[in-house]
Chain A
Amino acid sequence: MSLKFGILGLMAEEPLHGYEIKSRFESLMGGAWEVNIGQIYATLQRLERDGLIATAGERGDRGKLAYQLTEQGAREFTAWLSQPEAGQSLLHEDFSVKLLLLRRLAHADLAALLHRQRRMQLQHLRDLAAMDRQARDAGRADLALIIKGAILHTEADIKWLDLCLDEVADQQSPAP
């Protein structure tokens, strides 16, 4: 979804051809989101079919074809920019389903899974901290802000896992 609007947004600046879109999109994301050129062309085809972009001029050197926003594309992009995004539904995540199932199964080691998940999230925090440093060193305050969001989400995940572990411990300890 963001790739579609990312392309429209980049084209709001000037007409672009496929490889320009790929490199500008990746640079926008600080190199942290790679897209293959096939994905770009497939998205361009859909956008053209839906009337959101149109070819700009003739084929240039080496047969490259540039695209530009149509009026409809510009309207749709502007509307998308101003819309809030619905939050992710954490309830639908695989891990939540695993947790609920494990609780129903006798002899299942819930604490072990929680610790493994927590360990993974700690490593994820470490990786994000390194990305944060890279982004700031590169002067990409905008990207650092996005990464900071991911760090806060991951910290919340760890707090939640700790809460789950507290509950598992409470259930295992004998009543006073």
Chain B
Amino acid sequence: MIDLTDVTKSYEKTAPSPTLSVSLTVPTGQFVAVMGPSGSGKSTLLNLIAGLDRPTSGRVAVNGLAIGTLGEAALARYRRTQLGFIYQFFNLLNQLTVLDNVTLPAQLAGTRNGVARRQALALLDQVGMSDKAQEYPAKLSGGQRQRVAIVRALINRPPVLLADEPTGALDSRSGEEVMGLLAGIHRQGQTILLVTHDARLAATYAERIITLRDGRVADDALMQVAAPASTADLVHLHRGEE
């Protein structure tokens, strides 16, 4: 569970209002999309949960662990074991093969090399990338790189996955595939926080959409299970008839 209680973050002491001012709870296993215009506080929110920023006031807790009070070593351990990150531009290491990119976080977390490689190959297989294990990222398409980045994010089985515009650099088909993968991971119980500008992807895949404006939660919407095809939907297409 992610729990932010009366959290504020100000980058300038003299600023009239904080960059972010929120209280919110994300239950374990929820798929949440965070939307909002540029500068609305989406990245700040993600950085606070990731422990990359400390709150000016309030409490950020992930699975009971208060992030704001941790020392650097504990924070690094928290990020390694509790979080997976997916970025817009993949952030893969170009001098390492796909397999080495994916096993690196596991090795940093102390997993033995053989075990890490077995886990990595199994996960790469799940996303249809096992035949690219020995390739270098530069030889892959954007969609393929993002699939590798997803495997890297999941290798340590983190309880929380943070995805910052993961489809922002992809064509629509690759973006759809990446979202399909995230949906599959979510069905296995993964908590996912997705920052996106894309209303369609957010509405299609996330079960909750939080909209930030000026650093505050402007809307917090639980999506209903999609209604089956109904007259009402197509009537919308045929307004003005009959």
Tell me the A residues contacting B by CB distance below 8 Å. 1-3, 29-34, 39, 88, 111, 115, 118-119, 122-131, 134, 146, 149-151, 155, 158-159, 162, 165-166, 169, 173
Contact = CB atoms under 8 A, between A and B. Distances in A.
A136 B202 CA distance: 20
24 contacts: A1-B241, A3-B241, A30-B229, A32-B234, A33-B235, A33-B238, A88-B239, A115-B211, A115-B218, A119-B209, A122-B199, A122-B203, A123-B203, A123-B223, A123-B224, A124-B236, A127-B226, A127-B227, A127-B230, A129-B204, A131-B229, A134-B228, A149-B237, A155-B199
Given A3-B242, A155-B199, A128 B223 contact: no
Nearest to A29: B234
Interface residues of B, number: 31
B209 A122 contact: yes
A122 B37 CA distance: 16
Given A1-B242, A30-B229, A88-B240, A122 B234 contact: no
Contact of B234 (A33, A115, A123, A162): A33
B14 interface: no
Contacts of B241: 1-3
Given A3-B242, A115-B211, A115-B218, A129 B200 contact: yes
Identify the 6 closest CB pairs spanning chains A and B, nearest first: A130-B226, A125-B203, A129-B204, A32-B234, A126-B203, A32-B229
Given A2-B238, A122-B202, A129-B203, A115 B229 contact: no
A122 B221 contact: yes
B231 interface: yes
Contacts of B234: 29, 32-33, 146, 150
Contacts of B37: 162, 166
Contacts of B231: 32-34
Contacts of A2: 238, 241
Contacts of A30: 229
A160 B227 CA distance: 24
Contacts of A29: 234
B72 interface: no
B229 A125 contact: no
